[in-house]
Structure 1
């Protein structure tokens, strides 16, 4: 059965009104923050291979069983330090970061106890790849640090040996990786001390530079000069 012209016009007006309302409402919803949020990955219920060690590090009950509290605390640690997937699983990567932190803490104020960084060159910046630590000493006297650092990952290792600071750029920008490198102090080709955003414990490592926390890199910037010695030794875990 057909419809009258007046009825057709009323239908058309309703359709236009509905279409206009939908088009206007969508941007308003976006502006109001009503866009859908992707769900975070589920917190695992699985017991990790290093469960007890991770629990102990975090001050949790060391029963070796995964609980909701365990997962929450482990996941928070993983998120803070860029460990993926951050689902609260107490695996080897998470424990590896924690174990490294323990070793760094054990260095205390005598990081050169083993005498692996030269003490006959005056002021020198030492980089211990094994413990991922760096400090500045003058002879046997500790001047600054030790600071936790992040050095080159597998196949991008920070090169070992005797170096010298040869170029400094306070606001360097890497054209190779398209990233800011504040407080850059180059000591071996494209390898340099510089600060990064995020955690210096974030795996797997840098592309060869010695990554530092902003305040630590700023302290190095104030102390080091072109021509100062740098000594890199050891081997980064996982390389």
Structure 2
């Protein structure tokens, strides 16, 4: 496993690394920079070459040092820890969205005002990455393509928007969106929705 890998073995590795205190967020199944750093730290404790990649020797050592993760450890219901903000998020008013930590941080002048768990598009309908602006806001909206309710929508890239998802609230990460950024905490999103203005920046990054 290495950067860019996305599968259930990555999720298990992250859960095992979390048991040891090397990985400080909920498992995402995506192998990004934070996972590579956690693997390097673990390799260092075991006298292995700190490559940041999981080879056979590293996997054997990780399995030997941990127990098999439980279902709750693999898909915890607790809030994910906010990722280190992307540099593009450090100035102005920004919805800073991390795909790796699966979090949205509402930031003003480099400070996190509020944060929440998010879910992204499925493989065939991915959430676009990049820097955008909030084009429009809709307290109540129904998707014209998929006919699903999208309360507290903040559109930033065509039909893609940050919005509350009852499906995410009910099913968690077992589901996926059609490209939107789903939020499961309706009250927290409602508060952020009231603060965000059309024209505010949106950054979607790994």
TM over 0.5: yes
- Cα offset, 1:168, TM superposition: 1.0
TM-score, structure 2 as length reference: 0.59
CA contact (8 A) 2:89 2:203 kept: no
1:70-116 deviation digits (Å, cap 9, x = unpaired): xxxxxxxxxxxxxxxxxxxxx99x84x743548954x2xxx353x42
Equivalent residue of 2:191, what SS? Answer: helix
- 2:74 is matched with which residue: 94, 99, 112? 99
Root mean square deviation of aligned Cα: 2.9
Secondary structure of residue in 2 paired with 1:126: strand
The equivalent of 2:183 in structure 1 is 212
- Using the size of structure 1 for normalisation, the TM-score is 0.52
| Contact 2:141/2:153, CA 8 A, preserved across alignment | yes
Instruction: Identify unmatched segments of 5+ residues in structure 2.
Output: 1-11, 20-67
Match of 2:109 in 1: 139
2 CA distance for matches of 1:212 and 1:103?
A: 14
Deviation at 1:216, TM superposition (A): 2.6
How far apart, in 2, do the equivalents of 1:117 and 1:205 lie? 27
Deviation at 1:140, TM superposition (A): 2.0
- Give the distance between the partners of 2:90 and 2:100, measured in 1 at CA: 22
Deviation at 1:149, TM superposition (A): 0.8
Within the candidate set 119, 125, 140, 1:156 is matched to 125
Cross-structure match for 1:221: 193
Q: How many residues align?
A: 140
Q: Is the 8 A contact 2:91 2:110 kept in 1?
A: no
Alignment pair present for 1:186 and 2:190:
no
Conservation of the 8 A alpha-carbon contact between 1:104 and 1:131? no
Q: CA separation in 1, counterparts of 2:134 and 2:168?
A: 25
Gaps of 5+ in 1: 1-49, 58-90, 235-239
- Does the residue aligned with 1:137 lie in a helix, a strand or coil? strand
Instruction: Find the residue that maps to 1:163 and give its secondary structure.
Output: strand
Match of 2:168 in 1: 199
Q: Distance in 2 between matches of 1:100 and 1:229?
A: 30
- Measure the CA separation in 1 of the matches of 2:92 and 2:76: 29
Alignment check: 8 A CA contact 1:100 1:131 kept: no
Match of 2:143 in 1: 174
How far residue 192 of structure 1 moved from its aligned partner, in angstroms, is 0.3
Query: Is the CA contact 2:89–2:96 (under 8 Å) kept in the aligned structure 1?
Result: no
SS at match of 1:149: strand
Larger CA Rg, structure 1 vs 2 = 1
